[in-house]
Chains A and B, each alone.
Chain A
Amino acid sequence: MSQTDKKLNAFHAKFIPSHPEQTSLRKRLSPTMTISLSKMYPVLLLLDNCLNNILWLNNTHYHYFNNVILLILSLNFLIADRTSQSLYSILILWVGLLSTELLIMSIVYYCITLSNDLETDEPPTLEDIFNLIDAITHKLHILKEESIVSKLQIDSKLSIIIIVGVTSIIQWALMSCIAVKRYVISYLIFCSIYHSDWVQATLRLLWRSGYIRNVIHLVDRFKKKRPIKSLKDLISIQEIKSNESRLKVSDLEIMESYMDIIHLEQTDSVKVLELTIWENQRKWNGKGWFTKLFSYERGPFSIFDAGQTVLDCKAPLKFEDGLFDGWTWLDKKWEINDWVYFDSCWNLVGSKDSLQCYTRSRKWVRRILQLESNNESKKNV
């Protein structure tokens, strides 16, 4: 009973309105601006309709499917081989001609009816124009979000070169196995259906497949550098990264009993280095966090080099025995920090697990030191 009461009395916050009225902007508009906007209205309507056709909005799927078929037929006609004189090819040509005419006529018909409607209707209010502009910008936004270019990670010259290289190889392969005419037609079909909701949903579902991700990230997999296996490599990378700090032992806060164990004296001058290794995990199908990660992304343990690129490495505990050249562990053990959460592409989200988080990392830190002045003498002893 009390639970239902609670449910009834529950107070839910409301969303921030997604399409707020820009009243202030409208009030500040100059008359010339208003007039020019209302003159632009038909153009805006045409643009909106174009976007609707690209995004498969505002009409049934049958309508757009028929349009695609008409497009194919008319393309077939426009780039047809007209030398053949068989009855069948003449029939195909005739159907192509018809569909080309139909396509052109439907566009012309739309324009004429649009202008007729505008003439007979009341002139558009500022509200109408602003709504239309909002709708157009929103649709352009969707176009931008869904486009392939926005999905490619172009962050350096190298990635541009790789993308151009890979796509030209694909293009070349396609051109060599299918005729130019077919290539053009299939490219246009692809363009005309790419933004439909069916294709977009299919792409998203395909993206859930690990196999497909592995294929798409094939380049990343080869770009991956060799994992760090020895403590020497680990130290050399972290030395470059951090500003070397030369300190007196007296400046360090070390327990004396531990100093005895690692043979240190207060007067020794040392080089101290903080080794940082990240442990990485991924959330799998709502089943929980596992160290199983994709082969193209960072491994279960990784470090950052000076250029902030990720390098895989062994587990921290496996580095314990590889001490060399007077390097000694300053801390007794690895200090493990809390998890930090990221989204699926390792972009930072926050310190708490939420629906947005699909990967997480935590730092393993341990300081290591190298004696400088008394190095030689100690070695001799």
Chain B
Amino acid sequence: MEIFRQFAESGSQNGGLVEMLGIDWQMLLFQIVAFLVMLGLLAKFVYPWLIKSVDDRQKRIEDGLKSSEKAQAEAANAEKRIAKLLASANKEAGEIIAAAKAEASETLLATEEKSRQLADKITKTAREQIDNDILIAKNALHNEMVDLVITATEKVTSRIVTDKVNNDLVEKAVKEAKRN
């Protein structure tokens, strides 16, 4: 209640709405000028830098995003390339392994063949050697037999051949020699 009374009192006392509201033109002008001065100062010395810093930050963020996107794209690209290279390398490796295996088995076969041939040769040589030895042994035996026979014949002959036999032999030989 008191508050309303006060309002009414002050209104009637001062006698003007403008004055009641406390609007003083001088004050108003002063305020406007002060505000403009402040605005001017700030606009010259503060805001350009603040705006610049905000813009720079924004730019950095964007650049960062861009470069990260680029990096991602490149990474994806690189991954693709790597996958491709890997696939082709795998394929090549498989081919090389297969070729190596084939070569190895070929070499193995060749080696086996060579060893088999060598073995055959050795066997053949051995057989020939054996046959040779056998032949030599046979011949040696044969010759020994011949020697024995001849020696035996000589022994027997020396007993058999008497003077008469000898003379007969001589006669025969002479006749033979005459004919020749």
The answer to whether A and B interact is no
The interface of chain B, by Cβ under 8 A from chain A, is none
